[in-house]
């Protein structure tokens, strides 16, 4: 067992025994029900103590409650990103790209392409994909270009040495001569070879420093020059820099395309800059064109201030814009030009830096080198590339210009059809961008709105284009709303047709809020869904917009963490998913849930009978009970912890943990932080509600305490323990049924439960007199030691420690079901004639056949209460809209009383808090009653 799984196993064991564990001030603290802790457990705790402190320490609370991400990295590092449960089989995803791979995998983008040729790639299952990304413009002739392969195999045939340091390389010489000859008027005299774009940029910066004796570089915001440290220092997106302690050079980074900013920067520091570095069109920054005259102005200012102009043509160069150098369009010659990407013809990594005479220095000449740079194979690929770009009087460049112009016309047409969504088309040649505007979508309900709020829409668009449209393209990672279109330069207009069809389809679906269509590839194409062309559906009312956190008063503040019971509960949140079958919904929601922040889905203000008010929000975690139970304990706690953090940031003083959010966090015990909000599972009031429902049923039936038997199934659970205490006030006979699936030690655990029951009943008797005839009264009357008392009660049959379900249920006039089991194991045949069953478990434990075949049995949906005024909130309510879950009600009660100090996951379950809650419930007007009974059709 690994350390992590040992910790997980221990935490699960603690949860099963109702032991809460917290790490505060560098030490572990636990609260355990009597008898729950044994020496074996203590030893395990001691052995794992430092790891447990590490796992549970308050720092596990994310500093910012968001898992918002962009692959470029806007997501805070401390928030959970990759599920610790993710163990891909694929060695690439496991070892090479565990992080990006995880994100791309969830989005359905992480494909394997075993084959590619020209403009197309093929997936493992044979789907043809049009490559409109071409490795960010590095595949000028598409995949596997025959002539580049020939150039490489010629090297082999000729037995040309690949690497010959300190010798004269024919291949490198020939390529350098061709490069400086590409634009003879520019006056390039020197070429330094590199292995990548970033290395070209590093080289350019060194050249400039050596030539000017200055160190600083002026650069532009959103500029992208590669990810090595030097290149990062002139990059304009902090997201790439922040994690790497790249020195802050932001004072030297000015807005791109802004001539005034350029002038001011030089005026501020006339002798500061060795170089100004610019892309002729910003690529990664979002395909941003500078205004006409910008490059010429940059050239003039550089001349005036003795600064070198570096034009980074790594992406724009070598034909991408329809010219060898993009700057030729403005006839602006740089002192240094960086190239890479396309130079290798799509097969070899190679870069080159071209420079003019004024940049040449001895220092650079003798102090710079790079082992593999200028290798013969790469240079031969480069030579073939230049040949293909320039032969037939530049026919390929003409082709790029005409195809690019046609591309622009078609994209403009699409943009005109989607004016609300498309902000504009930018770039030129075969480097164009579609800038989208998602702000108009913010109010969209449901999953769609959630994905948008997480800034995922651009990635969803890319995923849909790939999976449904067979088009591979990339977003611009730093700007987050631009689709980059950069197909091979050799692409034909016919080949581009599917791009237009797919774009039209994707943009229409986004515009219409067609979640089901956009996420079609998760749902599967084998089922019919309504025609996407039908437009947005308006036949269901959207949930309210997210409440503003400012909506705060001096009143109590609470939040309640909820989760969908099954993936199809997302239906309630997204009208467009109405036709998606439940199993497909699960398939779709599961991978996306890891991207979705806990989200406030409802706001509510409640007023008590005393006039007190409390404001609260429901925070939804996008996981079903099944998801939560399958996660590691660590991940589940992290996810629920994030929801608590969201609640806290939005002003909640007490947070209730609904449903399984309490179960997977040891009733909230693993989330307790000294500086955090008060936490409660709401289990105490749930128990009170269940007991009172039975009490009301007994009153209706005119049953007296002395003759009644109440069975508590799940008596070892938090709710079960509390219900047992209250049941002992209702009935003369109580049957405790622990977890029948843990047969070993059932008797021992039963005796421990009984001992705890006796202690609590004695404590309760000190607060209020037990009703005559009840088990509680018999316990209160006796002063025998607990074990003797229990033995006596067992002998008389007043207290039963049951070891078989059928036997326990057959004798019970009332049954409370309070287990963690997801099975419906209580059948019609189990129940006594005229029995009352209160099912508190979610999912229910009672089998549908009971409602269908046993009209004599009264079925009560447990855990519901009626507040003073109805709170018609679907997410909080059971089937009857005027009732709310008791666990949520408990959270509201603490908020109405603003008595947050009493609230702690375990303390809430103790007698003083239980008694206080019962009193608060009455005072604030929450009627705990025999709530709605199931009818045969509903509920089950």
**CA distances in angstroms from 332 to 197, 329, 359, 615, 765, listed in the order given:** 21, 8, 17, 63, 92
The Cα–Cα gap between 512 and 495 comes to 28
Looking only at the bridges linking them, the beta strands covering 471-472 and 128-131 are parallel
Q: Which residues fall within 8 angstroms of residue 299, CB to CB, at 6 or more apart?
A: 309, 332, 333, 334
**Would residue 52 be called left, alpha or beta, if left means φ above 0 and alpha means ψ between -120 and 50 degrees?**
alpha
Distance CA 345, CA 196 (A): 13
Instruction: Please state the closest distance from residue 336 (CB atom) to ligand PLP, in A.
Output: 13
Is residue 890 within 8 A of residue 896, CB to CB? The reply is no
Q: Judged by CB under 6 A, which stretch of 276-284, 473-481, 695-703, 732-740 contacts ligand PLP? A: 276-284
- Output 283 or 750, the one with its CB closest to ligand PLP: 283
Considering only 8, 105, 202, 284, the residue that binds ligand PLP (CB under 6 A) is 284
In terms of CB distance, is 200 or 212 closer to ligand PLP? 200
- The span from the first CA to the last CA of the chain, in angstroms, equals 41
CB of 288 to ligand PLP, least distance (A): 12
Minimum separation from the CB atom of position 228 to ligand PLP (A) = 7
Q: Which of residues 117-136 bind ligand PLP (CB under 6 A)?
A: 136
The reply on whether position 309 binds ligand PLP by CB under 6 A is no
Q: What CA–CA distance (Å, rounded) separates 219 from 129?
A: 37
The DSSP letter of residue 368 is -
Say how many CA atoms lie within 13 Å of 574 toward its Cβ: 25
Q: Give me the phi and psi of 28, to 5 degrees please.
A: -95, 140
Q: Which is nearer to ligand PLP, 118 or 137 (CB)?
A: 137
Per CB under 6 A, contacts with ligand PLP among 603-622 are: none
Q: Specify the residue, 219 or 568, whose C-beta has the smaller distance to ligand PLP.
A: 219
Q: Are strands 115-117 and 120-122 parallel, antiparallel or unpaired?
A: antiparallel
In 3-state terms, what secondary structure has residue 700? helix
**Among 193, 224, 256, 595, which residue interacts with ligand PLP (rule: CB under 6 A)?**
224
Report, in Å, the least distance between residue 539 CB and ligand PLP: 46
Q: How many CB atoms lie within 10 A of CB 353?
A: 28
C-beta of residue 200 within 8 angstroms of C-beta of residue 229 = no
Least Cβ distance, residue 316 to ligand PLP (angstroms): 7
Smallest distance from ligand PLP to CB 227, Å: 7
Sign of CA dihedral 497, 499, 501, 503: negative
Q: Counting beta carbons within 10 angstroms of the beta carbon of residue 168, is it exposed (0 to 12), middle (13 to 18) or buried (19 or more)? A: exposed
579 with 530: CB under 8 angstroms? yes
How would you classify the pairing of strands 471-472 and 556-562?
Answer: unpaired
Instruction: Choose which of 254, 314, 601, 647 interacts with ligand PLP (CB under 6 A).
Output: 314
Report yes or no: 3 and 44 within 8 Å, Cβ to Cβ: no
The span from the CA of 576 to the CA of 589, in Å, is 14
Report helix, strand or coil for 333. coil
Of 279, 281, 227, 272, the residue nearest 251 (C-alpha): 272
Pairing, β 709-713 against β 814-817:
parallel
Shortest approach of ligand PLP to residue 373 CB, angstroms? 13
Minimum distance of ligand PLP from residue 486's CB (angstroms) = 10
- Residue with the two structure tokens 């019970």: 812
- DSSP assignments along 375-408, one per residue: -HHHHHHHHHHHHHHHHHHHHHHHHHHHHHHHHH
Does the protein bind ligand PLP through residue 312 (CB under 6 A)? yes
- Tell me the C-alpha distance between 150 and 146, whole Å: 6
Please list the alpha-helical segments (H only) found in 375-513: 376-417, 446-453, 457-467, 493-512
Q: How far is the CB of 577 from ligand PLP (least distance, A)?
A: 37
Q: How far apart are CA 99 and CA 92, in angstroms?
A: 11
Nearer to ligand PLP, 8 or 279 (CB): 279
**Least CB distance to ligand PLP at residue 278 (A):** 10
The least distance separating ligand PLP from the CB of residue 474, rounded to whole angstroms, comes to 10
Residues 172 to 211: which contact ligand PLP by CB under 6 A? 196-198, 201
Site string for ligand PLP, 133-172 (x = CB under 6 A): ---x------------------------------------
Closest to ligand PLP by CB, 339 vs 928, is 339
Report the residue number whose CB is nearest to ligand PLP: 197
- In the complex with ligand PLP, the residue whose CB is nearer, 196 or 463, is 196
Q: Which stretch, 241-249, 278-286, 608-616, 895-903, contacts ligand PLP (CB under 6 A)?
A: 278-286
Q: Which stretch, 124-132, 312-320, 741-749, 905-913, contacts ligand PLP (CB under 6 A)? A: 312-320
Closest CA to 411 of 276, 507, 280: 507
226 binds ligand PLP (CB under 6 A): yes
Give min distance, CB of 513 to ligand PLP, in A.
33
Return d(Cα 835, Cα 420) in angstroms, integer: 62
Q: Is 324 helix (H, G, I), strand (E, B) or coil?
A: coil
**Interacting span for ligand PLP (CB under 6 A) from 308-316, 496-504, 805-813, 874-882:** 308-316
The distance of closest approach from Cβ of residue 111 to ligand PLP in the complex, given in angstroms and rounded to an integer, is 21
Judged by CB, which is closer to ligand PLP: 60, or 203?
A: 203
Whichever of 353 and 376 has its CB closer to ligand PLP, that residue is 353
Closest distance between ligand PLP and the C-beta of residue 197, in Å? 2
Q: Tell me which of 15, 339, 340, 657 binds ligand PLP, using CB under 6 A.
A: 340
List the one residue from 252, 279, 729, 756 that touches ligand PLP (CB under 6 A): 279
Binding to ligand PLP in span 678-737, by CB under 6 A: none
Q: How far is the CB of 185 from ligand PLP (least distance, A)?
A: 23
**Minimum distance between the CB of residue 194 and ligand PLP, rounded to whole angstroms?**
9
The two structure tokens encoding residue 303? 């001349």
Which H helix or E strand runs over 428? strand 422-428
Q: Which stretch binds ligand PLP (CB under 6 A): 307-315, 661-669, 820-828, 869-877?
A: 307-315
Region binding ligand PLP by CB under 6 A among candidate stretches 222-230, 360-368, 722-730, 814-822: 222-230
The residue range among 154-162, 224-232, 426-434, 850-858 that interacts with ligand PLP, by the rule CB under 6 A, is: 224-232
Are 204 and 356 a contacting pair, CB within 8 Å?
no
Question: Among 501, 595, 603, which Cα is nearest to 557's?
Answer: 603
Of the pair 225, 760, the CB lying nearest ligand PLP is at 225
Which of positions 814-853 make contact with ligand PLP (CB under 6 A)?
none
C-alpha dihedral, 200 to 203 to 208 to 211, nearest 10°: -140
Ordered DSSP codes for 255-271: -TT-HHHHHHHHHHSTT
Q: Give whichever of 136 and 825 is closer to ligand PLP, judged by the CB atom.
A: 136
Q: Which is nearer to ligand PLP, 103 or 277 (CB)?
A: 277
Residue 655 CB, nearest distance to ligand PLP (Å)?
44
Q: How far is the CB of 357 from ligand PLP (least distance, A)?
A: 24
Q: How many residues bind ligand PLP (CB under 6 A)?
A: 15
Contact criterion met (CB below 8 Å) for 189 and 387: no
| Near ligand PLP by CB under 6 A: residue from 307, 315, 328, 665 | 315
Q: Which stretch binds ligand PLP (CB under 6 A): 277-285, 406-414, 438-446, 756-764?
A: 277-285
Chain residues that interact with ligand PLP, rule: CB under 6 A:
136, 196-198, 201, 224-226, 279, 283-284, 312, 314-315, 340
């Amino acid at each position: 067992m690994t350390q992590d799984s040992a910790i997980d196993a221990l935490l699960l064991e603690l949860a099963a025994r109702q032991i809460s564990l917290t790490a505060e001030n560098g030490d572990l603290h636990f609260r355990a029900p009597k008898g729950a802790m044994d020496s074996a457990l203590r030893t395990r705790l001691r052995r794992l103590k430092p790891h447990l402190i590490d796992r549970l320490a308050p720092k596990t609370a994310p500093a910012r409650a968001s898992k918002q991400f962009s692959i470029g990295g806007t997501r805070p590092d401390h928030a959970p990103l990759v599920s610790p449960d993710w163990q891909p089989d694929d060695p690439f995803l496991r070892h090479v790209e565990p992080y990006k791979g995880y994100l791309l995998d969830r989005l359905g983008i992480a494909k394997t392409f075993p084959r590619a040729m020209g403009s197309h790639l093929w997936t493992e299952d044979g789907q043809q994909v049009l490559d409109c990304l071409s490795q960010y413009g590095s595949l000028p002739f598409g995949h596997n270009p025959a002539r580049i392969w020939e150039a490489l195999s010629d090297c082999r045939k000729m037995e040309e040495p690949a690497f010959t340091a300190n010798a004269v390389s024919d291949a490198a010489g020939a390529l350098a001569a061709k490069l400086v000859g590409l634009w003879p008027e520019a006056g390039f005299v020197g070429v330094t070879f590199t292995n990548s774009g970033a290395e070209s940029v590093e080289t350019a910066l060194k050249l400039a420093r050596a030539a000017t004796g200055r160190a600083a570089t002026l650069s532009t915001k959103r500029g992208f020059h590669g990810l090595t440290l030097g290149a990062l220092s002139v990059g304009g997106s902090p997201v790439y820099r922040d994690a790497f302690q790249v020195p802050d050079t932001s004072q030297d980074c000015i807005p791109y395309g802004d001539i005034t900013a350029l002038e001011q920067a030089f005026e501020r520091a006339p002798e500061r800059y060795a170089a100004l570095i610019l892309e002729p069109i910003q690529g990664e920054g979002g395909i941003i064109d500078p205004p006409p005259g910008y490059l010429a102005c940059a050239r003039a200012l550089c001349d005036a201030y003795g600064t070198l102009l570096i034009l980074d043509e790594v992406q724009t160069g070598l034909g991408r814009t329809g010219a060898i150098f993009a700057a030729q369009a403005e006839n602006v010659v740089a002192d240094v030009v960086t190239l890479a990407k396309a130079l290798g013809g799509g097969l070899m990594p190679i870069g080159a830096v071209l420079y003019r005479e004024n940049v040449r220095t001895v220092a650079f000449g003798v102090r710079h080198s790079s082992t593999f740079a200028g290798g013969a194979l790469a240079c031969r690929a480069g030579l073939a590339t230049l040949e293909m770009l320039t032969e037939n009087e530049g026919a390929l460049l003409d082709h790029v210009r005409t195809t690019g112009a046609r591309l622009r016309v078609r994209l403009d047409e699409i943009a005109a059809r989607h004016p609300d969504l498309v902000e504009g088309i930018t770039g030129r040649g075969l480097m164009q961008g579609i800038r989208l505007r998602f702000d108009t979508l913010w109010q969209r309900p449901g999953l769609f709105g959630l994905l948008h709020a997480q800034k995922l829409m651009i990635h969803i668009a890319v995923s849909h284009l790939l999976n449904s449209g067979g088009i591979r393209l990339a977003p611009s990672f730093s700007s987050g709303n631009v689709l980059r279109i950069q197909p091979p330069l050799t692409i034909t207009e016919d080949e581009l047709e599917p791009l237009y069809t797919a774009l039209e389809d994707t943009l229409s679906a986004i515009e219409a809020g067609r979640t089901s269509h956009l996420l079609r590839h998760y749902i599967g194409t084998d089922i019919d869904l309504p025609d996407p062309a039908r437009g947005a559906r308006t036949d269901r009312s959207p949930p309210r917009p997210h409440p503003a956190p400012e909506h705060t008063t001096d009143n109590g503040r609470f939040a309640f963490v909820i989760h969908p019971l099954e993936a199809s509960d997302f239906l309630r949140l997204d009208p467009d998913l109405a036709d998606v079958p439940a199993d497909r919904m699960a398939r779709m929601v599961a991978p996306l849930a890891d991207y979705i922040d806990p989200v406030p889905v409802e706001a509510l203000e409640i007023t008590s009978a005393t006039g007190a008010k409390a404001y609260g929000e429901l925070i939804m975690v996008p996981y079903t009970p099944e998801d939560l139970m399958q996660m590691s304990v660590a991940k589940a706690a992290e996810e629920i912890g994030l929801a608590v953090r969201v609640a806290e940031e939005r002003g909640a003083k007490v947070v209730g943990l609904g449903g399984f959010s309490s179960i997977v966090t040891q009733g909230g015990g693993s989330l307790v932080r000294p500086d955090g909000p008060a936490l409660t599972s709401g289990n105490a009031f749930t128990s009170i509600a269940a007991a009172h429902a039975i009490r009301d049923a007994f009153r209706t039936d005119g049953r007296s305490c002395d003759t009644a038997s109440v069975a508590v199934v799940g008596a070892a659970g938090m709710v079960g323990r509390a219900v047992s205490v209250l049941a002992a006030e209702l009935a003369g006979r109580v049957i405790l049924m622990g977890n029948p699936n843990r047969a070993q030690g059932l008797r021992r655990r039963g005796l421990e439960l009984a001992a705890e029951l006796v202690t609590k009943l004695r404590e309760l008797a000190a607060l209020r007199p037990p009703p005559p005839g009840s088990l509680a009264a018999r316990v209160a009357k006796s002063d025998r030691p607990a074990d003797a008392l229990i033995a006596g009660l067992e002998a008389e049959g007043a207290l039963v420690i049951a070891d078989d379900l059928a036997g326990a249920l057959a004798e019970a006039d009332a049954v409370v079901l309070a287990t963690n089991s997801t099975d419906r194991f209580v059948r019609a045949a189990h129940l006594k004639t005229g029995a009352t069953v209160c099912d508190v478990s979610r999912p229910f434990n009672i089998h549908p056949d009971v409602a269908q075949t046993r009209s004599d049995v009264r079925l009560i949906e447990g855990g519901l209460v009626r507040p003073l005024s109805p709170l018609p909130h679907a997410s909080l309510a059971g089937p009857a809209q005027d009732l709310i879950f008791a666990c949520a009600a408990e959270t509201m009660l603490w908020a109405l009383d603003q008595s947050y100090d009493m609230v702690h996951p375990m303390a809430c379950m103790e007698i003083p808090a239980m008694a206080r809650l019962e009193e608060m419930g009455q005072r604030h007007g929450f009627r705990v009653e025999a709530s709605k009974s199931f009818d045969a059709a509903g509920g089950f």
